[in-house]
Structure 1
Amino acid sequence: MVEQLLTTKKRFELPELRTIGGATIRDLAVGYETYGALNEARDNAILVAHYFSGASHAAGRYRPEDPLPGYWDAIIGPGKAVDTIRYFVISSDTLVNFNAHDPNVITTGPASLDPATGKPYGLSFPPVAIADFVRVQRALIDSLGIAKLRAVMGPSMGGLQTFEWAAAYPEMVERIIPVIASPHFTGWLTAWMTIWTEPIRLDPDWRGGAYDRSASPRAGLEAAIRAMTLHGLQSAWSWSAGGRASAEGADPADIAASPFAIDRTLADGARARVPLADANHMLYLARANQTFIPGAGAGAASLAEGMARIKAPTLLIHAPDDLVFRPEWVEATAATLRGQGVAVESATLSGPFGHYNGIVQIAQASDRIADFLARAI
């Protein structure tokens, strides 16, 4: 019988964070989880950074009766690719976490109370960057007495954080595993993220970000989640969601309605997420991704400057039919790193889920991940 991995949410507090934009955030808190044990030498730690709409619940369950484990449970746990008998795994919630109202998430962002006013920050919360997420992680890692990470890894936005770690703190990162992510994205993705979030700004209940939680822009947030979800999937997935069929009892001639089965599937999924998510947090997350430059936390001002700072051996894992971080961008990242002498390996994931193959199909890369982590560098 496979041992069930159980975990608890921990809280990390930072009295003050100076963002790369020059703002100061006080009384900051984020949640984190750990799996396995830190060895005496403190050299077996692996940091896992989460994706855009995810949280630190990367593996295991909080309670044995929980219906689902963490998102990467297929590869994190005793005897798995990221073996928690051998490694100490850390995963933390980001600032401005998408799931700001989930009781299992601890984050600081626009929905948090400003200690100076006692009211939610709203859009007075300073803009934050991926580099700021990593600065908080660095403070957490320091608080645990860890001087060097055996690896940093993560999917999508977690992959961007992985590149930031390698560029901003090269002396602390032994190797990296970015999954379904690339710093070489174009304005095409920038524009897509604006499309994801535009329904929030168009919802009259958004009120320029100054909404009350009891009257939040739910319709706009639901539409935003639907746009994000569909972009992350691939057309083959649509057959499992009804294909082109009409929903039961729907009339395709009703122009005022959304009568198709796939629309209902997306709407039901989005509606389930709205109570735990926050609209302003989604806007801040999108901007942090849109403005990403690796090594920004160390002063890098361009993609080329940031990439030049990366020295860590790299295992790039991507999905060839990914419509979010397209394969040609991942290939450009591999070419850039190889061109500056970095040891780069790659692996691919297949399945009908497009970008989301990096989460739900990650077990396909188990052997590659296990070998890469175990190898002496």
Structure 2
Amino acid sequence: MRIWITGVLALAGWVAAGMAGAQDLMVEKKVFELPSFTTQSGRTLKQVRVGWESYGTLNADKSNAVLICHFFSGNSHAAGKYAASDAAPGYWDAIIGPGKAIDTDKYFVIASDTLVNLNTGDPKTTTTGPASIDPDTGKPYALDFPIVGIRDFVEVQKALVESLGIKKLALVAGPSMGSLQTFEWAASHPEMVAKAMPVIGAAEADAMLIGWLDVWAAPVLVDSNWNGGNYYGKAPPLAGLAKALAAVTLQANHQDWANATFGRRPAKEGDDPAKALLNRFQFQSVLDNAGAARAKVSDANHFLYLIKANQLFTAGGTSLADGMAKIRAPMLYITQPKDLVFTPDAVERTVKAAKDAGRDITHVTIDGSRGHLDGVMSMKQAEGAIRAFLAK
């Protein structure tokens, strides 16, 4: 989740640093609107809007559509650039594009923003959530916005897909929180998913993940500016959100990268951390600066709603076993053994549940020093496995 999260989890600058060789695929951001949408909780929302983009061309019988679901702190920008001057392409540009593993000369690839998307301050993100204006009151929803889950994200995507006349997806895929959406698609709408590719995720949020997500949320909840979620028009809880995003970034990475890149160097030459309480290590400073930068374009309530959606997740909405029993699509499951968000034991439970249910699952791993983030930054490694999977 850039996370992912759950997702997914990476900060834009770090993702960009891992993407070599920008591509020339040019894309346009669009907006999809539903006049009304009823959530799984039974609440009906008016004027639900999400951003989306596409790559490639939909064929005549509309059989070549692929859906990419984004990670926790991401948005629909999975590949290509909006302008040639963009610093970096979309997060999965290494595997999406002309001649790439998910070949846009063959496939029509769709990606959309989720409900309660984190990036409310990004002009290239469109989402409906607590920061949105409630048409009935003319004021931001704040915590009056209903609880939404991964299934709600999927149902909005389904409406978008169906609005394009697409009845079946050749592939649904995504990293971290995108993998949760992929599992949910396959379990809840098996007739619409030909193949599924969940990456750096699991088919259920286990107790430890629920607990870690609570740790992520804590700095926001103790920031006095959060004010019970009623901060719109006032000073937002930027300090708490910045610390929360720093925690996300820490867990999305791995000690191999942290130790090799920063070690125990002080944040400022000559300011020995042993000499004063407020003297810091370089890695502390980097995490805080990254969190603060990201907080400026994010919304704290959206962050909390995303956490709740991830905590509530079980594919199919029942149990891990029942969810796997509903899936019909062959799955290519890609994980990173050093992942500190979706840990090896969670991955093993997912694989076991799939096999116990008689599902067609191929499990491959990727390497790297970034842990969870390798599922965003190191996907080129999986190119051969993806090509073989799609060719079956």
TM-score of the alignment, normalized to the shorter chain, above 0.5? yes
1:266 alignment counterpart: 287
Matched letter for residue 371 of structure 2? G
Q: Cα deviation per residue 1:102-159 (whole Å; 9 max; x = unaligned)? A: 1000000000011111111110100000000000000000000000000100000000
Instruction: Note if contact 1:252-1:260 (Cα within 8 Å) is conserved in structure 2.
Output: yes
Task: Find the counterpart in structure 2 of residue 112 from structure 1.
Answer: 132
In 2: Cα distance, 1:316 partner to 1:45 partner: 20
State the AA in 1 paired with 2:122. D
From 369, 375, 379, the equivalent of 1:362 is 379
Aligned to 2:5: none
Q: Distance in 2 between matches of 1:335 and 1:168?
A: 20
C-alpha contact (below 8 Å) 1:193/1:290 kept by paired residues: yes
Deviation at 1:335, TM superposition (A): 1.9
- State yes or no: 1:46 paired with 2:66: yes
Cα-to-partner distance string for 1:32-89 (whole Å, 9 max, x where unaligned) = 0100000011100000000000000000000001011100000000010000000000
Match of 1:295 among 305, 313, 316: 316
Measured after TM superposition, the shift of residue 266 of structure 1 is 0.8
Taking the TM superposition and a 5 Å limit, the aligned residue runs for 1:1-377 are 4-212=24-232, 214-249=234-269, 250-253=271-274, 255-257=276-278, 259-296=280-317, 301-375=318-392
d(CA) in 2 for partners of 1:165 and 1:255? Answer: 52
| C-alpha distance in structure 2 between counterparts of 1:329 and 1:251, whole Å | 40
Paired with 2:143 and 2:224, the residues of 1 have a C-alpha distance of 16
Report the Cα distance in structure 1 between the residues aligned to 2:267 and 2:260, rounded to whole angstroms.
Answer: 13
2:205–2:311 CA contact under 8 A, matched in 1: no
| 3-state secondary structure, aligned to 2:63 | coil
What amino acid is aligned across from residue 275 of structure 1 in structure 2?
K
**What one-letter code is carried by the residue in structure 2 that aligns with 1:74?**
A
CA distance in 2 between counterparts of 1:8 and 1:209 reads 33
SS of the residue aligned with 1:287?
helix
TM-score, structure 2 normalization: 0.92
Calculate the aligned-residue CA RMSD, in Å: 1.4
Q: CA deviation at 1:258?
A: 5.2
Q: Could you tell me which amino acid in structure 2 is paired with residue 284 of structure 1?
A: Y
Distance across 2 between alignment mates of 1:240 and 1:3: 29
Q: CA deviation at 1:213?
A: 5.2
The list of structure 1 runs, each at least 4 consecutive aligned residues, that deviate by more than 3 angstroms after superposition, is: 253-256
Separation in 1, partners of 2:197, 2:149: 21
Change in 2 beyond 3 A, CA 1:6/1:148: same
Q: Residues of 1 paired with 2:91 and 2:142: CA distance?
A: 29
CA distance in 1, matches of 2:145, 2:166: 30
Which residue of the partner structure matches residue 13 of structure 2?
none
> Secondary structure, in 3 states, of the residue corresponding to 2:49?
strand
Supply the distance in 2 between the matched residues of 1:133 and 1:361 (Cα, whole angstroms): 26
Once residues 173 and 59 of structure 2 are traced to their aligned partners in structure 1, the CA distance between those partners, rounded to angstroms, is 20
- CA shift, 1:252, in A, is 1.1
Q: CA deviation at 1:214?
A: 5.0
Equivalents in 1 of 2:204, 2:146: separation in Å? 26
Q: How many residues align?
A: 371
What are the ranges of 5 or more consecutive residues in structure 1 without an aligned counterpart? none
How many Å separate the matches in 2 of 1:22 and 1:227?
33
Q: What amino acid maps onto 2:315 in structure 1?
A: P
Distance 1:70 1:243 in 2: 30
CA shift, 1:344, in A, is 1.0
* Contact 2:66–2:108 under 8 Å retained in 1: yes
Identity of aligned residues (%): 50
Tell me whether 76-85 or 305-314 shows the greater mean CA deviation: 305-314
Equivalent residues of 1:241, 1:261 under 8 A apart: no
Counterparts in 2 of 1:233 and 1:40: CA distance versus 1, 3 Å: same
- TM-score by length of structure 1 reads 0.96
Shift of 1:255: 4.9
